[in-house]
Amino acid sequence: MKDKSDNKIRATDITDEPVYLKRRHFLQLAGITTAGAAFAAIPGRSAADVKPLKTISSKYSTSQKPNSYKDIASYNNYYEFGLEKDDPARYAKSLITDPWSVKISGECDKPGNYNLEDILKPHPLEERIYRLRCVEAWSMVIPWVGFPLGDLLKRFQPNSKAKYVSFTTLNDPVQMPGVGRRVLAWPYHEGLTIAEAMNPLAIIAVGLYGKTLPNQNGAPLRLIVPWKYGFKSIKSIVEISFTRKRPQTSWALSAPREYGFYANVNPQVDHPRWSQARERLIGNGLFVAKQPTLVFNGYADQVAHLYSGLNLRKNF
Ligand code: MTE
């Protein structure tokens, strides 16, 4: 992964967040989901493209102040659309997200092709404010809209042979100019153990800031695993498969010394090329805030049991 320490977001680019949050609170009280003007100047999908979603709040949200919509939708990693942080916002307009379907395969009783509406219909949408800790040692706080991954997976009735879950992103060179370059093992694919996937912190996100996802953030649906480095949180998912064996993952295939299967946030295990002890919170313009990185990104109480007996240095 590129170690890009330059922050392309200027102080003047940042939305006046307290104003936005107050307005959101007012609209929630009035029973209206947020929309409109705050999103007007966002690159990528326009305000007209993202649609309002009705959400309920979640007990799992952090109380940290979210980054602005502009930070979240203009500083991205989505290598299918280029390697620079502003490439996805610029080029992901070409991604067609409607119609969309997800193939469910492998060790389960209800495999098949499900269209997006069928996938989403039974699930109430929550707002989950999580800090996304990227392996590149920066982080952002993002108000995702989504629902527990485990609730979705259970609907397909995984059988007793299902030990892992693998996820695959769309791989279309016409819509995704970046897949023409062999920077990663395409299609982008990721995996979790079944126990990780069933943990209530893991969600499928379909929106952020009360609206459907902009393409650059992984529309129409993506994974969010808040105790792991950001690269586990795969975007624009077209296949979910229940497997007996540990699935291969794009980053571990491309650079096995640098990126492992587990990818748990761990300040004690450095990346071979840089320290993971601290992180830079994106969105403070020139005044870059560095803060200590927390083990499991602060979720040790909820997830450390998943790794009992596992050497986290070897299994990075
Ligand atoms: N998913 C796909 N398909 N392609 C990618 O390049 N980048 C990952 C992850 N999911 C990536 C992806 C990385 S490295 C990070 S840090 C997060 O997405 C960034 O998510 P965001 O742009 O919504 O903040």
Say how many Å lie between the CA of residue 235 and the centre of ligand 1. 6
Q: 79 CB under 6 A from ligand 1?
A: yes
User: What are the per-10-residue average pLDDT scores of the chain (316 residues)?
Assistant: 43 34 38 41 62 96 95 96 97 97 98 98 98 97 98 98 98 97 96 98 98 98 98 98 98 97 98 97 78 98 98 96
Given this model, what pLDDT does residue 30 score?
A: 36
Whether 93 maps to a domain, the answer reads yes
Structure token pair of residue 13: 């680019």
Nearest to 243 by CA among 281, 193, 198: 193
| 136 C-beta closer than 6 A to ligand 1 | no
pTM of the model: 0.88
Mutating to test ligand 1, I would choose from 77, 83, 87 the residue with most ligand atoms within 8 A of its C-beta, which is 77
Q: Is residue 140 part of a domain?
A: yes
> Is there a contact between 199 and 151 (Cβ–Cβ < 8 Å)?
no
Q: Does the residue 89 lie in any domain?
A: yes
Is residue 312 in some structural domain? no
Segments forming the whole domain that contains residue 26: 11-307
**What total of structural domains would you count in the chain?**
1
Q: Atom 6, ligand 1: which residue's CA is nearest?
A: 78
CB atoms within 10 A of CB 4: 13
The answer to whether position 3 is within a domain reads: no
Question: 139 CA distance to ligand 1 centroid (A)?
Answer: 12
Question: Is 6 a domain residue?
Answer: no
pLDDT given at position 47: 55
CA of 70 to the centre of ligand 1 (A): 16
Ligand 1 atom, smallest distance to 217 CA: 23
- In a 3-state reduction of DSSP, which class is residue 227? coil
